[in-house]
Structure formats: structure tokens, C-alpha cells
Amino acid sequence: MIHPTAIVEEGAQVGADCEIHAHAIITRHAVLGDRVVVHPFAVVGGDPQYLKFDRATASQVRLGNGTVIREHVTVNRSIHAGQATVIGENCFLMAGSHVAHDCVLGNNIVLANQALIAGHVTIGDNTFIGGAAAVHQFVRIGEGVMIGGLSRITRDLAHNLLVAERDEVSGLNVVGLKRRGVPREAIRELKQAFREVFGSPGNIRLVASEALARADAYKTPEARRFLEFFSAGKRSFARPSRTAGHEAESAD
């Protein structure tokens, strides 16, 4: 359904059973999956906020099935020809949030009100970003991460972390893991990996690599993905304070 006063430009691709509310704008650069809902005054597929951008560049925004875009959300298209800003399936972008050019968001992601995602950011599945949190460009955020409101994220965040303030890790997102039905053995190994990576002195990439090399120590895919995260990327990693690390060790 396309409501009166909504604008869907010629060339936009809109899937089955979508709802485009009044005053929403879907530009010709947008590709919407099925059952996408776009609320009033949102703009999907707008030009990137990049001073050197050539508006003749043919690029896109792609929204996955079941994603909901609330009021005044902006999702900008890629700065590169033939490429796209991508938001996965069943995501929920609350009012006033922003996703900049060339971001790639996974599935089941929630951006709370006024969350700001700068360009070239990647975010894993099942991640929650709190209200008015801001993420620096080129940051990698793993799956299952929970970021508190008003946080400032400038470093990479490994899978399943709890993060607040400025890159401050407070532990593992154990509640989220349990809600998603992650096995107890995997949670136990994740806690062990968390302690080893963040509690050991020296280069964090090397510590994680050495932990991975001990095949008998970490057998669950969740723990191994956590450790593998540290082998990629070019930015530094968010770490816990000593107090947060101690609390994480004793978490249920």
C-alpha cells in the first residue's frame, strides 16, 4: 500500500505487501524487499552526505524483507557505482535514526531513536544500538552486541559484547545469548574466551590467534567466531575496564 502524498520515484523497486506511509520518500535508488514498512518523513535512498559525491553515480540502498523504517529515518545510498548500502531482514530503525552510505547491517538489528551510524560501518545480526548512540565510520560491530544509549563507538566491537559510554566494554551480553537459545556450553566457552582475550597482557590479536590455535580449548562455533573477529579489521578494539572484566568473570 502506498498512502497519499508518499513519493515513490520512478525506478524504485518495491516488494510485495510493503506499506509506504504519507510523506515518506522512496528514491529511484531504493530496492525494498517484501513486507517493508516506511513511516512518514523517512527518506530511503537519498544521496550520501559526502562532499565529493557525484550525483550521477548509479548506486543503491537495499532493505531486506520485513524491515520497519520509522519516522524521519534517513538511509543514504552508496558513494560507489554499482554498490549499495544494505540493511538486512526484520530490522527496526526507530524514529530519527540515520544509516550513512556503504553501511552493511545484518538481520534483526534494532537502532533506537536518533542512533547515528556513519559511513562504511558493518553490524552483525541481532545487535541493539541504544538511543542517540553514535558509531564512527569504518567500525565493525559483531553479532549479538548491545550498545547503551548515548554511547560513542570509535573502535571495533567483537561479538556478543555489552558496551556503553566511549568504547567501554562491560561484559558479555549473556541475557541476549540466552534469549536466542545459545547452548550453555557455548556461553561457557564465550566467557572463557572473553577472560583470555581481555585478561591477558600483550597484543590482543596475537592472544586471540593463539587461543584459536588450541583446538581442544574452544570447540563451539560461537566461541571460535568470537576469537576469529580479532584477526580482521584495521581499527583497534574496545576493551573492558578491570572492574568490568572482573564482573564478566562472575556473570551467570
Question: Where does residue 140 rank: exposed (0-12), middle (13-18), buried (19+ CB within 10 A)?
Answer: buried
Residue 34 a catalytic site member:
no
| Residue 140 DSSP SS3 | strand
> Of 98, 71, 76, nearest to 86 (Cα)?
76
Which candidate in 88, 119, 130, 144 is catalytic?
119
Rounded alpha-carbon distances, angstroms, from residue 79 to 6, 105, 241: 25, 17, 37
119 given a catalytic annotation: yes
Calculate ∠ Cα 75-139-74, nearest 5°. Answer: 10
Residue type, 74: T
Of 142, 109, 98, which is closest to residue 233 (Cα–Cα)? 142
Is residue 47 part of the annotated active site? The answer reads: no
Q: Which residue has the cell 562491560?
A: 170
Sheet arrangement for strand 104-105: 13-14, 30-32, 60-63, 84-87, 104-105, 122-123, 140-141
Rounded CA separation 40/94 (Å): 12
Which of 29, 39, 98, 101 is catalytic? The answer is 101
Active-site positions?
A: 101-102, 119
